[in-house]
Amino acid sequence: MKRLYFKYGVMGSSKSAQALMTAFNYSQKGYKVLLIKPSVDTREKASVISSRIGLTAPCLTFDKCTNLTDFVLKSHPNTQVLIVDEAQFCTKEQVDQLKELTARDMVVLCYGLKTNFKSELFEGSKRLLEIAESIQEIKAVCRCGAKATINARVVDGLVVTSGQEIQIGGDEKYEAMCYSCWKKYQTEKLTK
């Protein structure tokens, strides 16, 4: 059955690695797989999905104005499995378009963050939580050993809770934390 999947986790929880492994598994079984990501993700080359553990694969990129139904059906009409990395950056309308693709006999797997550094839902993640048939958390661990649930933005050793929602970065700007550590390190400096 063709469904819309949302697999979310905090930064560093291996979302991109799992997306790439899933693409490999489907490809190995003969499925036509298409990997895409939002162009706002500028950490690596524009046309590459990469993970912290070194896995990489080419992909197509799209922006907030792209109609994803048209984009996929026109550029790769034989796609059977669509994998979207960094799905939190999709608009509400784009998530609805991804859902439309499942009605065309396509499996759509979305990987991304659930919340931003303020612990608020991203627009794309909110819509995915509302309409995806399958929702799965990819777990990660906080520095204290508890389950990490928040993508803390760190500036000069302190967790910050104000600023632009989107600030692309990796381990140099963000750390996955539990709620208690997220609150604690807003007033107490982090030590490595």
Q: What is the tens place of the pLDDT at every residue in 118-144?
A: 999 999 999 999 999 999 999 999 999
Percentage of the chain with pLDDT > 70?
Answer: 94
Burial string for 140-167 (b: 16+ CB within 10 Å, else e) reads bebeeeeebbbbbbbeeeebeeeeeeee
Residue 170, pLDDT score = 62
Residue 40, pLDDT score = 83
Residue 42, pLDDT score = 63
Residue 140, pLDDT score = 96
Orientation of helix 92-102 relative to helix 123-131, angle to 10°: 30
Give the pLDDT mean for 3-17: 95
Looking at every residue in the chain, the average pLDDT score rounds to 91
One-letter amino acid for residue 109 of the chain: L
For residue 9 the two structure tokens come to 């986790």
Lowest mean pLDDT, pick from 39-43, 105-109, 110-114: 39-43
Give the pLDDT mean for 137-161: 93
Band (157; pLDDT cuts 50, 70, 90): confident
Q: Is 130 a catalytic residue?
A: no
One-letter amino acid for residue 181 of the chain: C
Question: CATH homologous superfamily of domain 4-137?
Answer: P-loop containing nucleotide triphosphate hydrolases (3.40.50.300)
In the chain, where the domains are located:
4-137
Residue 25, pLDDT score = 97
Q: Is the confidence at residue 55, as pLDDT, over 90?
A: no
Give the pLDDT mean for 82-88: 97
Q: Is the confidence at residue 94, as pLDDT, over 70?
A: yes
Residue 92: Cβ-neighbour burial (10 angstroms; 0-12, 13-18, 19+): middle
Catalytic residue among 44, 86, 100, 137, which?
Answer: 86
Residue 123, pLDDT score = 97
Task: Look at 36 and 168; give whichever has higher pLDDT.
Answer: 36
Q: Are 111 and 15 in contact (CB under 8 A)?
A: yes
Residue 80, pLDDT score = 97
Residue 74: Cβ-neighbour burial (10 angstroms; 0-12, 13-18, 19+): exposed
Residue 168, pLDDT score = 64
HEC sequence for the chain: CCCEEEEECCCCCCHHHHHHHHHHHHHHCCCCEEEEEECCCCCCCCCEEECCCCCEEECEEECCCCCHHHHHHHHCCCCCEEEECCHHHCCHHHHHHHHHHHCCCCEEEEEECCECCCCCECHHHHHHHHHCCEEEECCCECCCCCECCEEEEEECCEEECCCCCCCCCCCCCEEEECHHHHHHCCCCCCCC
Band (28; pLDDT cuts 50, 70, 90): very high
CA 66 to chain centre: 18
Give the pLDDT mean for 56-70: 94
